[in-house]
Structure 1
């Protein structure tokens, strides 16, 4: 089983933004591709890739690696997750069934014991070698805490599922050396360097809507 939405989550995220040629992007599911368009600049699309450690204090604690595309829906910005792995069955099942997030299981190393260095690897089940790794070097901490807010758009049950995410976090500058295997599931990132990397520190997130919020949303769409 998995917790009902919304999920209240806490932890650390190491995020990089890449600009990838549109032709190299993974395809979106047809129902989603009919509703959203990638945000492009000079034929390139913004792709975010992040290692995440969800820590005790939230409804679940587990590790995650994801890749997501910045898209828009009639001008409204959205984030669509194309590839994602977790080391929690509850997270996998909840992500798939609640929001249409295509989570798969994997084994992780996410070692932050030697700060300012964070060493990350991910290995597919029954594989001998990692299909991606990264070395994060944390740098200057920005003063204060910052709001987080975006909408995730995924395909679920033949429809587009739009899920709000909001929260707050600290921020640190970071350098991230990514090492995805060219023939692996994140091969579209191979050979590209991030244009921006950040550590999103000590965050708290609310992922999804309460039952009351979902009821109000249904009322608005039926008017």
Structure 2
């Protein structure tokens, strides 16, 4: 096996943006229906730099849709690129996350995924404390729904992300749009997946 077993303990830096996208433009999530309000769905994007202290070090760009299965809200990752074959293989085989390889370039003020998107980034005021979060990701693995828990804690800063999305690329549903909100999650600790039984 070229990747660690689940759960993955990861650490790093992240910029998360929240968007509202017309339902007709949403990419179809597997195994669940988009959660919509007034004909619009919620999309989250993240630029992530997984650094030292975790089981893998790599960079990532992802897009996820907020969905519901029965009455339960979940997150479904619909587009994702990494610069690590181990992350790609583990994401696909453990959780059904459709990871692809891409060239990703990060600095303090800019993130770029070649031919897909780039963003200019700026951080603002830090919110007090370290903020915990818990949610579950639903994907399709071997034709069935795979639900995986995610737990994280991070220092949170208000932020701004100015995106340029390739209009004919895989994130075209975000081209010409602006995120409603962007947060910087600093020095996060994350556990993705379940303990082996």
Q: When the two structures are aligned, how many residues end up with a matched partner? A: 196
Is residue 142 of structure 1 aligned with residue 127 of structure 2? yes
Is residue 51 of structure 1 aligned with residue 61 of structure 2? no
The separation in 1 between residues aligned to 2:126 and 2:29, in whole angstroms, is 36
The separation in 2 between residues aligned to 1:83 and 1:68, in whole angstroms, is 7
Write out per-residue CA displacement over residues 55-97 of structure 1, whole angstroms, 9 at most, x where no aligned residue: 0100001000000000111111100000000000000000000
The separation in 1 between residues aligned to 2:79 and 2:99, in whole angstroms, is 7
Q: CA deviation at 1:28?
A: 2.7
Gaps of at least 5 residues in structure 1 are: 113-117, 124-129, 213-223
The TM-score normalised by the length of structure 2 is: 0.98
Residue of 110, 113, 128 corresponding to 1:122: 113
The TM-score normalised by the length of structure 1 is: 0.86
Is residue 87 of structure 1 aligned with residue 83 of structure 2? yes
Q: CA deviation at 1:52?
A: 0.2
Gaps of at least 5 residues in structure 2 are: none
Larger Cα Rg: Structure 1 or Structure 2?
Answer: 1
Alpha-carbon RMSD: 0.8
The separation in 2 between residues aligned to 1:153 and 1:59, in whole angstroms, is 22
Q: What does residue 220 of structure 1 align with?
A: none
Q: CA deviation at 1:176?
A: 0.5
- Correspondence list, 1:1-223, <5 A: 1-29=2-30, 32=31, 36-112=32-108, 118-123=109-114, 130-212=115-197
The separation in 2 between residues aligned to 1:28 and 1:150, in whole angstroms, is 16
Q: Which has the higher helix share?
A: 1
